[in-house]
Structure 1
Amino acid sequence: MTFYDRVDELDALETALESPGHEFYVVYGRRRVGKTELLKEFCSDRPHIYFLASQEAEHRQREKFVEQIAGHFDDRVPRIEGWDEAFDYLAEKLATERLVVVIDEFPYLVAENDSLPSYVQSFVDEHLQTTESMLVLCGSSVSTMESEVLGHESPLYGRRTGQIDLQPFSFRQARDAIAYDIDDAIRSYAITGGTPMYLTLFDYTRSLAENVRSHILTPTAVLYNEPEFLLRTELRNPARYMSILEAVATGHTTPNEIAGATGIGSGPLSKYLQTLRRLRLIDRDVPVTASAKQSKRSRYRVADEFLRFWFRFVEPNRSGIEEAPGVVYDGTIEPNLPDHVASTFEDVCLEAVWEAIRRDALEPYSEVGRWWYGEDEIDIVGLAPEADRVLLGECKWTSDPVGHALVDSLRDKATRVRWGPDTRTEEFALFSRSGFVDGLADELDDNWSLFDLAEMDTLLTPDNRSRRS
């Protein structure tokens, strides 16, 4: 099995373990994002105790935890009456051996006993600090990990020595796993997003259409109901949140549009949107030239490509999928997929901009994002305040080569971007799925950079960062 990327996260864990003294790390992130695989890879070549909690009675959770400790030390399983005694037993054993101790799905333990963070606090303060060992608490419930482990009111607040908020792969990180050419790789990423489990479910020897039909549009497939399970991990009553996600995924991006599509009043909607943002299920965007805190020109978007695909194409068509999934794919998904992929392509182009900056293929910019005002929109705008320099770029996921019309349009819109002095330096970048009309590059000056898919593939194909496990 191949373990993909996560080089930076592994380096952080390994550096922490090699440093003097104890370590108390917190690893958290959404379901399926690869937390368990990361920790198993980290533990694979060093002494460790790995305990995966489950949703069962507290006494059974505790018994299994103690059994795991005793099993590592080839010890007789002691009789333990409470969590304080369980952690005392662990402390006794850590006095004899330096270990990595991982408690995975910690929120399941907290759900059965909300005093558990206090027991961990006592263990860290009274025992772990005197060792060279490492404790890792891991969990998929972002809300529980942030409140019960990282929050100001948690007994564990201030005791961690490090944390990893594990994110889905960017396109560049996922590229190593997607064994399609660059065109189909972007289309595939627009469907699976960067969640490792979703990525690795697809069989890249088969067509993208075959993968969608078998892994998403089949009612018995894992991904068919995955978003519902994801939301139930975090939310007791996910119905309204699902309606908001569907509204955003289908193009209702402002608060007023979302309210109109869902029938939820502006007051309650604001709280729902805050919760979805905290759970990393939606993002709030403002124009890159505006203040994120002060701007009222906010737009929302579904933060995960798979969720965006599912809420746009699967959730509204459940009845049809149950009866005739092929008809839904041919009649609804395939004709509208280019529009869906175009949004993902903009994100991929943003990644390409940052990589081009790192490789000196573009001048440096401290901020890069989208810009809009009124009816005008520009896909990519980069700001370099210290140099009074601005980058303006457009991304076209079309079947026709880009020509002079887009050049003229971008020049015109550039005059309406109010940022910097009148003497600012302007650079331009065009990204095109289908390349550029003959002669366009020769007619443009050195302030223009053109990127077709082949050049983007060179920028976004990472070094070999996968590991065999």
Structure 2
Amino acid sequence: MTFYDREAELEALETAYESGEGEYFVVYGRRRIGKTALLKQFCMDRPHIYYLAAQESEQRQREKFVEQIAAYADERPPRVSDWEDALTYLAEKLQEERLIVAIDEFPYLVAENESLPSYFQSFIDEQLSGTDSMLVLCGSSVSTMESEILGQESPLHGRRTGQIDLQPFSFRDARAVISYEFEDAVQSYSVTGGTAMYLTQFDYDRSLAENIKQEVLSPTAMLYNEPEFLLRTELRSPARYLSILEAIATGHTTPNEIAGATGIGSGPLSKYLQTLRRLRLISRETPVTASMKQSKRSQYVVADEFLRFWFRFVEPNRSSIEEAPEMVYEGTIAPRLADHVSSTFEDICQEAIWEAIRQGELAPYADLGRWWYGEQEIDIVGLAPSDDRILFGECKWTTEPVGHGLVDSLAEKADDVRWGPADRTESFALFSRSGFVDGLADDVDEDWSLFGPEELSTLL
């Protein structure tokens, strides 16, 4: 499989490797995000021992770990009685040559022996530190990595020399994979999101419709059951989590709405939502002008585009898909796809603003996000508190060019946003899938920026 991007992450790993000292690096992030591919790319052409942990007994895990070391050294594996013996054997090899030791899915080891971080603490302090080798611990269980490996209570706390919290590909980075033209690329990204595994399932020589039918709606396709597999891997009883994700994906975004749609009481629901946030499957949003901790106007969103697509279009239509996937696509997905894409387009427009700031086309802002109050909503609001500057933006994924009506509407809604002093500096930005009506650019003043498909494609 082709390796895409991750230049900054590779550079961080390579810089650590070239330090000439013993390095202990942590790499973590959601499943399917590309951690293993990153590790293998980094280890390529460098002396290394790569061990992928599995959900097995502690003894079998330890035996396989030692076997992997022995295989690299081309010798018979010794018998070891505990992890201290296993790590001592590894230390002997590090005395002989400079190595990268990458342990993937480290949380599986910790699950079988909670004392394992203490063994690795001793290994790092007493044996790795005196070498020029590098230890990389990697894991998909974000909660375990953040608590048992990085947390303040962990024996390993404060010993890492670097860490990477691997994120999904942004739309701009995903364009290296998605070879469609801009409009189709946005629609495709709204289905796969930036998760490396999902992006690379599509064949971009086929149409988006064919990809959805063959890679998502086919009962034999990997993506067809992926969310269930993902939740069963992370959770013992995923049924209620599945219903919560479906509720959020279909527009029930407040705790009261989610409780009403799922029948789950507010007490248990709070714990379920917290778990889904910890797994990075949902995120909590508040109006950008409000305090994240204090605001009661919070909404929940599914934090992954593919999961949002799957819970909206696949899960509710399982029976029909088994019988007639073509009809589900034509009758259910195609007519509603534009509405689904519109949310993704808003995120892409935020990404375009950050890129325009980096390129000097827009003034800088400290924060960007949605704003809402009652029935009023603005797609993007940017805040620059130090300069008393505010940006208002609207994003339209429509087949018609944007006209003067949106200009007037946004200017009116801007007056309802209570932030900053009365003499604050206001700027405006419009984003449109289909461009703008003739003459609009001439009719607005310099406080307005217009981004059509060409401008967005150039930025991203």
**Mapping of 1:179-258 within 5 angstroms?**
179-258=179-258
Please tell me whether residue 87 in structure 1 is matched to residue 87 in structure 2.
yes
In 2, distance between residues paired with 1:73 and 1:353? 52
Which blocks of at least 5 consecutive residues in structure 1 are unaligned? 461-469
Partner residue in 2 for 1:279: 279
**Mapping of 1:18-417 within 5 angstroms?**
18-417=18-417
Counterpart residue identity of residue 42, structure 1:
F
In 1, distance between residues paired with 2:456 and 2:443? 22
Shift of 1:65: 1.3
In 2, distance between residues paired with 1:226 and 1:396? 31
In 1, distance between residues paired with 2:328 and 2:141? 33
In 2, distance between residues paired with 1:363 and 1:160? 37
- TM-score between the two structures when normalised by the length of structure 1: 0.96
In 2, distance between residues paired with 1:347 and 1:66? 46
Counterpart residue identity of residue 421, structure 1:
P
In 2, distance between residues paired with 1:10 and 1:91? 25
Secondary structure in 1 matching 2:137: strand
User: Structure 1 residues 17-26 or 356-365, which shifts more?
Assistant: 17-26
Please tell me whether residue 448 in structure 1 is matched to residue 434 in structure 2.
no
Shift of 1:82: 2.0
Shift of 1:456: 0.3
Shift of 1:270: 1.3
Matched-pair contact (CA < 8 Å) for 1:141–1:233: no
In 2, distance between residues paired with 1:135 and 1:402? 54
Q: For the aligned residues, what is the CA RMSD?
A: 1.2
Partner residue in 1 for 2:429: 429
Counterpart residue identity of residue 188, structure 1:
S
Relative contact order, CA 8 A, sep 6+: which one is greater? 1
Matched-pair contact (CA < 8 Å) for 1:25–1:135: yes
Please tell me whether residue 9 in structure 1 is matched to residue 9 in structure 2.
yes
- TM-score between the two structures when normalised by the length of structure 2: 0.98
Partner residue in 2 for 1:465: none
Shift of 1:77: 2.1
In 1, distance between residues paired with 2:60 and 2:318? 39
In 1, distance between residues paired with 2:59 and 2:276? 34
In 1, distance between residues paired with 2:365 and 2:156? 39
Identity of aligned residues (%): 75
In 1, distance between residues paired with 2:167 and 2:233? 17
Shift of 1:32: 0.8
In 1, distance between residues paired with 2:150 and 2:235? 19
Q: Deviations over 1:118-160 (max 9, x none)?
A: 2222211221122111111111122222232223332222222
Shift of 1:20: 4.3
User: Structure 1 residues 408-417 or 103-112, which shifts more?
Assistant: 103-112
Shift of 1:434: 0.5
Shift of 1:264: 1.2
Which blocks of at least 5 consecutive residues in structure 2 are unaligned? none
In 2, distance between residues paired with 1:410 and 1:274? 35
Matched-pair contact (CA < 8 Å) for 1:401–1:437: yes
In 1, distance between residues paired with 2:118 and 2:365? 46
